Amino acid sequence: MSDKGKVIKRLGGIRCPRCNKEIDFFNFSAKVEHFGLWDDINSWETRDYGDWSNLKLACPHCDKVLFTNEDKALKFLQGEG
Ligand SMILES: [Zn+2]
């Protein structure tokens, strides 16, 4: 999920195809599987994340879901989509 340390080139001027406002990030929602420990004192302690599903990446201006695939969204933001 993470690309820590990777330099991301940003072109700017990437626009939402629906509302035509400039976007450089998406709002996302996803169903995420958690793995962890449960007891009667600390309750839920997530130790790891499993599969992500139902990923939705939406325009922060108009809330239109533009992508359900991280790779395609990445290419879009980097001007290759
Ligand atoms: Zn939009």
Nearest 5 degrees, angle CA 36-CA 37-CA 40? 150
Mention every residue, 6+ apart, whose C-beta is less than 8 A from residue 53: 30, 31, 33
Q: What is the CA radius of gyration of the chain?
A: 16
The residue type of 20 is: N
Q: How far is CA 75 from the centre of its chain?
A: 13
How much distance in Å is there from the Cα of 49 to the middle of ligand 1?
Answer: 30
Q: Which residue type occupies 27?
A: N
Q: What is the pLDDT of residues 55-81, one digit of tens each?
A: 999 999 999 999 999 999 999 998 886
pTM of the model: 0.72
Instruction: Give residue limits of the domains in the chain.
Output: 29-77
Over residues 32-48, the pLDDT tens digits come to 999 999 999 879 999 99
What's the CA-to-centroid distance between 26 and ligand 1, angstroms?
10
Distance 42 CA to ligand 1 centre (A): 41
Cα of 23 from ligand 1 centre, angstroms: 8
Q: What is the DSSP letter of 62?
A: T
